[in-house]
């Protein structure tokens, strides 16, 4: 199963390399793609390992930072309230919590480098000038990730925690949360918002690969709004509509920004490659005109094709057409299949029609006999 998935991923990677106009148009072997994937994974793993070791040395500062959303809710007044609320229930829970916190912090701090390794694998065949252009894109992606994480940390997460705190109190229960559960909830919340704010980077990559364009994005804006709302409802861990709207609003603004960025990118490419885009516009107009002409026809069936019409013509038979008699071999095979005893058959008929029993006469033969009989009756009788 994994081999098939990797083969599909590598085929997409080859197509991306051809679309980008790589220097080598020959298809790479499967093992070469696998080696590139292994190199990317090793680089990302080593980067995370080194960064996690560094962030683990500052676990006290990281723990003080992750407690800030609780203070921002206003439900925690003193350090004693915080100790009563966050509890460690197992001996190793504190250490595992610190390891988890250090790993999440490592992902945030090493995100630009991780994004660079990922784009190197996804976008092969880049020229040297295009590789240099990756660095501004990586800077923009890292900035958007930090923007989304900060937005969740300072705005959305305190509101979500306050909602859960008041809801638990409405049930008549005291709020005693596990420390590990709180840290996992807060860090995942922050990471989800950071990744969600990477939408412009993803869209710009698809525009660069000609999978998206300004016209398609602008005409499908209504579908994008529905998709953003569904994504926000799934990603946000709280069921209240406020948190969903807080995430969906910035994502929609980012989507509109992507539309304008795609417009300027396409405008720049049209100036650089006018013949290429003229051919694309011509094909689009022909396709649109042919589709409109087909739908204007009242007998148009969108589910049939020209090949289906040809098959129907070949299969059609006129009423006057008579089916041909089956060959003797088919009759002999049918008789054997039905289990008829060959010895019980009647002897073969003689080819002489005089000895054969009278067959049923046709209308033409009966008409000729009537004419003969009537002619004979009209002749005078001689004595």
φ, ψ (nearest 5 deg) of residue 74: 90, -5
Q: Looking at residues 303-309, what average pLDDT do you find?
A: 55
Q: What's the confidence (pLDDT) of residue 326? A: 55
Question: Mean pLDDT over residues 307-333, rounded?
Answer: 53
Q: What is the pLDDT of residues 49-69, one digit of tens each?
A: 999 999 999 999 999 999 888
Confidence of residue 304 (pLDDT cuts 50, 70, 90): low
* Band of pLDDT at residue 263, cut at 50, 70 and 90: confident
pLDDT tens digits for range 101-150:
999 999 989 988 888 888 777 766 566 666 666 677 788 888 888 998 99
287 confidence band (pLDDT: 50, 70, 90): low
Q: Is the pLDDT of residue 159 over 60?
A: yes
d(CA 33, CA 11): 9
- pLDDT of amino acid 6: 56
Q: What is residue 383's predicted lDDT score, i.e. its pLDDT?
A: 44
């Amino acid at each position: 199963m994994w081999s098939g998935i990797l083969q599909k991923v590598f085929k997409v990677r080859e197509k991306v390399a051809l679309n980008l106009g790589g220097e080598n148009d020959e298809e790479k072997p499967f093992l070469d793609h696998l080696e590139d994937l292994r190199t990317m994974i090793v680089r990302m793993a080593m980067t995370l390992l080194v960064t996690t070791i560094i962030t683990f040395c500052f676990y006290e500062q990281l723990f003080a930072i992750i407690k800030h959303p609780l203070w921002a809710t206003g439900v925690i007044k003193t350090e004693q309230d915080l100790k009563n609320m966050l509890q460690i229930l197992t001996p190793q829970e504190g250490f595992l919590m610190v390891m988890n916190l250090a790993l999440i912090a490592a992902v945030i701090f090493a995100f630009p480098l991780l994004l660079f390794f990922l784009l190197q694998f996804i976008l092969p065949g880049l020229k040297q000038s295009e590789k240099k252009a990756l660095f501004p894109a990586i800077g923009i992606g890292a900035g958007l990730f930090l923007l989304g994480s900060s937005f969740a940390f300072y705005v959305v997460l305190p509101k979500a925690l306050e909602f859960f705190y008041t809801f638990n109190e409405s049930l008549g229960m005291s709020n005693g949360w596990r420390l590990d559960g709180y840290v996992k909830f807060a860090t995942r919340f922050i990471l989800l918002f950071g990744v969600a704010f990477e939408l412009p980077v993803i869209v710009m990559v698809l525009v660069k690969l000609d999978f998206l364009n300004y016209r398609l994005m602008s005409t499908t804006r209504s579908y994008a709004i529905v998709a953003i709302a569904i994504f926000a409802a799934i990603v946000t861990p709280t069921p209240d509509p406020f948190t969903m709207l807080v995430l969906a609003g910035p994502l929609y603004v980012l989507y509109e920004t992507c539309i304008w960025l795609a417009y300027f990118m396409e405008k720049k490419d049209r100036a650089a490659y006018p013949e290429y885009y003229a051919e694309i516009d011509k094909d689009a107009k022909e396709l649109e005109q042919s589709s409109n002409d087909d739908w204007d026809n009242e007998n148009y069936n969108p589910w049939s094709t020209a090949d289906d019409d040809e098959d129907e013509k070949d299969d059609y038979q006129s009423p006057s057409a008579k089916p041909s008699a089956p060959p003797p071999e088919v009759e002999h095979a049918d008789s054997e299949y039905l289990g008829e005893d060959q010895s019980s058959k009647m002897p073969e008929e003689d080819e002489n029609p005089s000895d054969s029993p009278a067959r049923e006469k046709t209308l033409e033969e009966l008409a000729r006999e009537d004419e003969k009989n009537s002619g004979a009756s009209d002749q005078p009788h001689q004595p």
